[in-house]
Structure 1
Amino acid sequence: MSVQNRRKRRVRPNSSAPSESGRQKIILWVCGAVLAPLLAGIPAFLAYSDAQAPTPELFQNERKIVYTGNGTIFAVDRDGILRRFQHLGFERGEKRWSDPPGIEVGEGWQRFVWLIAGNPGTLYAVDFEGRMFLFDYLSGRMDAGDGRLIKIGLPSFKSFTGAYDVFYGLREDGGVCWYRHLGAGTWADNGTCALVKHGMRGYDRLIATGQGVVFAIDAKGDLRWFRHLNSALGGYTWQGDAYGPNGQGWIGDLDVTSLDGVVYALTPGYALKWFRYDTPQVYKSGVEGWYNRGIMLLPAAGVSG
């Protein structure tokens, strides 16, 4: 029989091979078998992740801080929200805060460039136009527009600080301007700059703590103690020009504030550092004047708001 005349054999389908719908069912079953345990474990994984996530710092996203005494700290965040924090352990840097430790008390505070403590119970704020406002009711709500305008025309300073109604402005040329608010919008020397010190060009930040004492931080992060004698009347007499540094590493902080020797500094990571100079008006060399020999304490670490 020729090849052309041969009958072609039919190939029977393999009855054991799955149909198309069968294959789809198998694939779905395999996917389900693999995904089911994974999906079941997601809640536990998320719970574990939440447990392992670091606790946000109490001062998370704050940009400016000002210490007004007796453990009260005001902070302004990037949205201009003002919060009041009450640090119960302010005398020794302990992790003791009110409950809740911080509450929102105002808004619109991004308009201010400097925040300064006055006499107990008062707060000064300076805006970018050189206008100074006084807030004298610190226990209630304080929106930025609630302050009383008491001065205009303040120059743009490299650093501006103050305590107990006496203010110091650091100029770019290293001169230090002195101002004193006498109350009711009146000022010593009619509110003009009294140039009380020269030679501070190498410094970036001044921090007044009261009684004429001003801590100055230079570009290297060294902190030095100065005291303006008879600071209530101005004048040119200072202590500290020949003294060595009282601290190192004071560089890169978002803000530093002080009153009565207690110093708070806010780091770029929003950690709050605490220090205390025991007798501010008395200079002691090196770290001798500091509580705990100047070792930094973190009173807000692990504290949630």
Structure 2
Amino acid sequence: MGEFASSSGVPRRKLLRDGAIIAAAVPPLLAVGEQVASAAIPAYDPQQRFIRLVGGGSGVIHAIQADGALYWYRHLGWQTGSASWASGSGRRIGSGWNGFRAVFGGTEGSLYALRGDGVLLYYRYRLSNGTTGVGTWITGGQIGSGFDRYPRVFGFNGDIYGQTAEGELYLHRWDLVTKTWTVDGARIGSGFKGTICQADTNGVIYAYNFGDIYWYRHLGGGTWASGSAFRVGSGFRNFWINDGVWFTGQGALYAIPPNSPTSSQTGSLREYRLTNYVTAGTDNRASWINRGTGLTVGNGWTMQTQAALQGYPNTPSVAQGELVRIAVSTGLPSVSAAMVRLAPAAGAPEQVSQSFSVATGVQALPKGYLTVGCNWSDRIQFRIPADWQPGLYAARLEGPSGLRRYVPFVVRPVQPTNKIAVLLPTFTYNAYNSWGGHNQYCSDLTGPRPLSLRRPSTELNVEDPAMFDHTLWSDLMLTRWMTRQGYAFDCYEDADLHASGAWLTKYQVLVLGSHPEYWTDAMRQQLVNYQAGGGRLIYPGGNGIYERVRVNSARTVVTYRRSDGKRDYYTALGLPASQLVGTNYIAAGSYAPYRVVRDHSLLAGTGLVVGSRFGATGYNKGASGWEMDAMRGLAGEAAPSQVIAMGENPGGEGAAMVFMEKANGALVFSASAISFVGALDSDPAMSILFRNVFDRMLASGQPVQATEAPMPRTSPAPGVPEASSME
């Protein structure tokens, strides 16, 4: 591979684009103010080596390793996509860079590092030799604070953008000459909700949304170039699932595709380059090298943005008084933890334990970790106090620079403490969890798709993600609303219902999540029995009880799809969701308000009458949105007299809001849309309507009788077409 001398005269191996590591005997070159990590900290895991690629323009890439090492690369072939790298590529130039929330680049070696507490630091690596990467660090330090008010921050060349949860964009511009902020928090645009943004030179911004990349260019003030919001690329979804799309300046984009979930990751690095990146939207065309086909320029660039600090619960559901066990892997020199309550809580997480230290060190991944689990050892074992309120909790992990991660888990009651139980749809969370490069929707997968529950997750957002969300954050919006309204509840997760229905019969009301899509046969039968005994059900979501999955005996792996790789729909088995909730999945991808179609007692106090619209806006846009359920002529569907409101979605495919009363006292309310809960705080009338639902469910309740209902047939239902989901 070749040799070159270090500053100490000790020969060392050169780090090329294949990702090989420098000999450990060589001391690192440090960024100003950074400390060398302890020698006791294990090396990075080759399966998840880098956490971030930071562009420096003209082919320069600063790669941050999971253990905090900062490497300098220069891709000489960046303009054409040739696999040509400067001889010094892979030079280690710093340490301690893994504790930052974000790092942005710039030309001439500028690096902006954002701490978890909102403090922004500036450093500059001034090259002495643009081929070998030899250079020196120029004194830097803190240049700003308060950036923690933005859920998302990105930037390039001193233009730092803050993106709010509502999708508004604020500009902060740092001038390297005057060392001042020439623009400090100017609102420059809106409409960026649901996008992941990166910046380039000349005010260019790229916004990613569901595989598509859109071009914007900010000209100053509130002015944007003509053609802004022009789509310049598509088909990048699998790369983004792998945390592997990085713009590094001047239109250069590097993507890291995932490998098969049963193989080791190779870290293939592909380059795309938008040659007219300054004018793409104005030109109304996107000019990509190689006609938009990626060119492989290196290997060994395995990526996992959480790898500096990550964890998962080995015991995702524990009873009061039991031991919660949490696996942690980290390259940080020190980590503290505290237990926080997420639900019931009206707002931000509530700390409920003292802080304590967590053992550090990287835990390597076994081969096939997506399907067999990470198999990491516990780093936290915490005895849950017997008097803790049942609900959803998390271990909050924090590094020395304020980098935070949350590891949620459920605390079950030894005996029910409330009339209401909330069932968190963790099998759906797992289906969409793309940590490690795949979820069950990836197009390169075939056959059945076993995915382990024992791995970190991309779907467990505890702090506002500033993105449309249909998994945990959406369900936190639901439970926070319940807490503010005074509805006390206990908490369970899908595996609890799969294991037993005994606990369910002790509750008067069961509340499902916003997207309870995946169920086992055992879970479904427990719900059938519950309703047969008079149980009452609130379904505030959409596309629920839609697809059958299988769970192994240890309840650690969920297998999605049939042996032939096709989806295992309950409607095709003659068991449509309508038998339980009155509606069936019908459509996806549009958003609208509901319109009242029938006078009903649940409208009392809302001011709504027939023809009134409600739920026009919300966190996830219109309340009848994302994925919706209605009538498809299948068994058990609500009668027209039981429909309160309909979503005004295009094509008559809006959600059907229904309320059903059964002879045995069982009640069912179905909002029938994923977006419903996100609009509760935006529409007082809808919030009152939902309060009326809870009050009706809790009124005149009789204890649920444990009833073993007949097992419905599971033969395919002839002639029933399946609606197509967004995935």
TM-score, normalised via structure 1 length: 0.69
1:172-211 paired onto structure 2 within 5 Å:
172-183=165-176, 184-189=178-183, 191=184, 193-203=185-195, 205-211=196-202
Runs of 4+ aligned structure 1 residues displaced above 6 Å come to none
- Find the aligned partners of 1:302 and 1:112 in 2 and give their Cα distance: 23
Match of 2:109 among 107, 114, 121: 121
User: Which residue pairs with 2:204 in the alignment?
Assistant: 213
Match of 1:222 among 212, 233, 243: 212
Q: Is the 8 A contact 1:224 1:247 kept in 2?
A: no
- Find the aligned partners of 2:174 and 2:229 in 1 and give their Cα distance: 30
Q: Is the 8 A contact 1:177 1:194 kept in 2?
A: yes
Matched, 1:298 2:286: no
Q: Deviations over 1:215-242 (max 9, x none)?
A: 1001x12111111123xxx324354456
User: Which residue pairs with 2:124 in the alignment?
Assistant: 136
Structure 1 counterpart of 2:274, which letter?
Answer: Y
Distance of aligned partners of 1:298 and 1:174 in 2 relative to their CA distance in 1, 3 Å threshold: same
- Find the aligned partners of 1:264 and 1:96 in 2 and give their Cα distance: 14
- Find the aligned partners of 1:274 and 1:67 in 2 and give their Cα distance: 13
Shift of 1:292: 1.5
Match of 1:150 among 143, 148, 152: 143
User: Which residue pairs with 2:687 in the alignment?
Assistant: none
Matched, 1:263 2:253: yes
Q: Is the 8 A contact 2:232 2:286 kept in 1?
A: no
Distance of aligned partners of 1:90 and 1:77 in 2 relative to their CA distance in 1, 3 Å threshold: same
Structure 1 counterpart of 2:206, which letter?
Answer: F
- Find the aligned partners of 1:194 and 1:252 in 2 and give their Cα distance: 32
User: Which residue pairs with 1:12 in the alignment?
Assistant: none
Q: Deviations over 1:278-299 (max 9, x none)?
A: 1212126887421122111121
Q: Is the 8 A contact 1:277 1:290 kept in 2?
A: yes
User: Which residue pairs with 2:273 in the alignment?
Assistant: 276
User: Which residue pairs with 1:13 in the alignment?
Assistant: none
Q: Deviations over 1:180-210 (max 9, x none)?
A: 1123441124x3x21111111121x111111
Matched, 1:252 2:249: no
Shift of 1:65: 0.7
* Deviation larger for 208-217 or 59-68: 59-68
Match of 1:62 among 50, 65, 81: 50
- Find the aligned partners of 1:71 and 1:154 in 2 and give their Cα distance: 29
Distance of aligned partners of 1:141 and 1:63 in 2 relative to their CA distance in 1, 3 Å threshold: farther
- Find the aligned partners of 1:91 and 1:245 in 2 and give their Cα distance: 18
Distance of aligned partners of 1:177 and 1:206 in 2 relative to their CA distance in 1, 3 Å threshold: same
TM-score, normalised via structure 2 length: 0.31
SS at match of 1:211: helix
User: Which residue pairs with 2:68 in the alignment?
Assistant: 80
- Find the aligned partners of 1:276 and 1:253 in 2 and give their Cα distance: 19
- Find the aligned partners of 2:215 and 2:181 in 1 and give their Cα distance: 27
Q: Is the 8 A contact 1:287 1:294 kept in 2?
A: no
Match of 2:160 among 159, 167, 188: 167
SS at match of 1:89: coil
SS at match of 1:173: coil
Q: Deviations over 1:132-157 (max 9, x none)?
A: 111123433659xx642111111354
- Find the aligned partners of 1:106 and 1:142 in 2 and give their Cα distance: 9
Q: Is the 8 A contact 2:214 2:229 kept in 1?
A: no
- Find the aligned partners of 2:232 and 2:58 in 1 and give their Cα distance: 27
Q: Deviations over 1:14-48 (max 9, x none)?
A: xxxxxxxxxxxxxxxxxxxxxxxxxxxxxxxxxxx
Q: Is the 8 A contact 1:244 1:286 kept in 2?
A: no
- Find the aligned partners of 1:180 and 1:242 in 2 and give their Cα distance: 22
Q: Is the 8 A contact 2:57 2:249 kept in 1?
A: yes
Distance of aligned partners of 1:108 and 1:217 in 2 relative to their CA distance in 1, 3 Å threshold: same
- Find the aligned partners of 1:198 and 1:132 in 2 and give their Cα distance: 23
Distance of aligned partners of 1:104 and 1:148 in 2 relative to their CA distance in 1, 3 Å threshold: same
Matched, 1:89 2:77: yes
Distance of aligned partners of 1:161 and 1:225 in 2 relative to their CA distance in 1, 3 Å threshold: same
5+ long unaligned stretches in structure 1? 1-55
Shift of 1:248: 2.4
Structure 2 counterpart of 1:92, which letter?
Answer: T
* Deviation larger for 94-103 or 152-161: 152-161
Structure with larger RCO (C-alpha < 8 A, sep 6+)? 1
- Find the aligned partners of 2:84 and 2:230 in 1 and give their Cα distance: 35
Q: Is the 8 A contact 2:232 2:280 kept in 1?
A: no
Distance of aligned partners of 1:222 and 1:75 in 2 relative to their CA distance in 1, 3 Å threshold: same
Q: Is the 8 A contact 1:163 1:208 kept in 2?
A: yes
SS at match of 1:120: helix
Distance of aligned partners of 1:239 and 1:179 in 2 relative to their CA distance in 1, 3 Å threshold: farther
Matched, 1:106 2:94: yes
Q: Is the 8 A contact 1:260 1:280 kept in 2?
A: yes
- Find the aligned partners of 2:247 and 2:150 in 1 and give their Cα distance: 17
SS at match of 1:110: helix
Shift of 1:101: 2.7
- Find the aligned partners of 2:189 and 2:151 in 1 and give their Cα distance: 15
Distance of aligned partners of 1:201 and 1:133 in 2 relative to their CA distance in 1, 3 Å threshold: same
Shift of 1:69: 1.4
Mark the structure with the bigger radius of gyration: 1
- Size of the aligned set, in residue pairs, is 240
SS at match of 1:68: strand
Distance of aligned partners of 1:71 and 1:272 in 2 relative to their CA distance in 1, 3 Å threshold: same
- Find the aligned partners of 1:77 and 1:243 in 2 and give their Cα distance: 34
- Find the aligned partners of 2:162 and 2:201 in 1 and give their Cα distance: 15
Q: Is the 8 A contact 2:252 2:271 kept in 1?
A: yes
- Find the aligned partners of 1:100 and 1:119 in 2 and give their Cα distance: 18
Distance of aligned partners of 1:273 and 1:287 in 2 relative to their CA distance in 1, 3 Å threshold: farther
- Find the aligned partners of 1:138 and 1:161 in 2 and give their Cα distance: 22
